[in-house]
């Protein structure tokens, strides 16, 4: 078995602010986006939100952009 010392429930990702890999807490948010007026529909898009546990910077990314 591979050993790991990473018991934190997070991911190591690159943070632009820290300019290195840091732990990030990742969650998924559903955001309601309003479209153009004539198309008075709302679409709910899942966003992946990651927050740097070192500096607190957040970045969000739309998940379903193919």
Residues that bind Zn ion (CB under 5 A): 15, 17-18, 52, 54-55, 57
CB environment 27-63: b (16+ within 10 A), e (fewer): eeeeeeeeeeeeeeeeeeeebebbbbbeeeeeeeeee
Please report how close the Cβ of residue 19 comes to Zn ion at its closest, in angstroms. 8
Residue number, 35 or 58, with CB nearest to Zn ion: 58
User: Considering beta carbons, is residue 45 or 54 the nearer one to Zn ion?
Assistant: 54
Query: Least distance from C-beta 42 to Zn ion, angstroms?
Result: 32
Name the minimum Å distance from CB 48 to Zn ion. Answer: 16
Tell me the three state secondary structure of residue 49: strand
């Amino acid at each position: 078995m591979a050993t790991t010392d990473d018991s934190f429930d997070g991911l190591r990702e690159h943070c632009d602010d820290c300019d290195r890999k840091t732990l990030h807490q990742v969650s998924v948010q559903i955001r309601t986006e309003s479209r153009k007026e004539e198309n008075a529909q709302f679409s709910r898009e899942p966003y992946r939100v990651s927050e740097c546990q070192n500096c607190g910077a957040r970045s969000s990314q739309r998940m379903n952009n193919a």
